[in-house]
Amino acid sequence: MDVGCFAIKVTLLFLSFVVHHRGIARGGGCDLYEGKWVHDESYPLYDTSQCPFIEKEFDCLKNGRPDKDYLKYRWQPNAVKGKSIMFVGDSLSLNQWQSLTCMLHVALPHAKYSSVRTGGLSTFTFPAYGAKVMFSRNAFLVDIVSTNHGAALMLDSIEGGNLWKGIDVLVFNTWHWWLHRGRQQPWNFIQVGKATYRDMDRLVAYEKALSTWAKWVESNVDPAKTKVFFQGVSPDHMNGSDWREPNAKNCEGQKEPFFNKRGNYKYPAGPHPAQLVVEKVIGAMSKPVHLLDVTTLSQLRKDGHPSVYGHGGHRDLDCSHWCLAGVPDTWNQLLYAALLKSYLKPAS
């Protein structure tokens, strides 16, 4: 079985989770066990000729069974009312959302789907399954408010959180825009309470904003109904010295991951400072928030960015976002594993 088939099978499991996780949460999982066998050309899951220790009496093909259709059936649980997943954040959340919607579509190529964008909200739906995978563009999580003095970045205010309520799985992310300055900076000053600042240390501002987000989660999320994840910090690759290649100015021309010759998986530049802030804030919360700790594994993928191929080739340089297919697909596989683990926990 090739890697593509494996990815499809993981995605089908993900979809099964999206439409059946209530059954898993009950412990009995009856929804998963009611369904039908459907023909699937990507099966079987493995080739017994590559499994040298299989018992002879189980290896039907080797023992001469002439038909092979019995290998091509996959269990498909009955579809029930689906659930909703929402990615909330900047264009790195868009990166992950598009990865997941592509994986789902490829896994179910004949299933009808809709993809609708209204303002800053994009919604991908499988009507037959009732499953929704949404992306809400919100680069800072906290509010930006227009005033007589310009746009204020309100580090202690989240008015846009009503959109997040009632969602089954929330996946938050913010960092990319906190470093923007000049024309790319969408605010004119920072406000905390009645105090205003022309600027401040961006990591300090980031921690204040994340603390506001954490308070929103503590006040508005029922863990029995909604699972909350934080995507972690997606790194860029703008400085070759970060991976011990000082002659490389950025990610352009990189063709393989960073492999540490010392035999470990540590990234030479060390932990990402924003990730340390995320860990600090989440670690102080009383309600469960699962950190998708994708920072280090993504730091190793200096080769995974669009580079000069993000807009038809050589018009600009992008060492922040990720090619698709690519690294965000792994983020989603880890998200699925974390979701399954959270719902399989025994009731306390």
Catalytic positions, written as ranges: 91, 318, 321
**Residue where the block lists tokens 């950190």:** 291
Q: What is the largest CA-CA distance in the chain?
A: 82
Contacts 24+ apart (CB under 8 A), 61-69: 69/39
Residue 144 CA, chain-centre distance (Å), reads 25
Query: Side chain identity at 346, as an amino acid letter?
Result: P
Cis-peptide into 325, omega within 30 deg: yes
User: How many whole angstroms separate alpha carbon 41 and alpha carbon 37?
Assistant: 13
Q: How many CA atoms lie within 13 A of 132 on its CB side?
A: 18
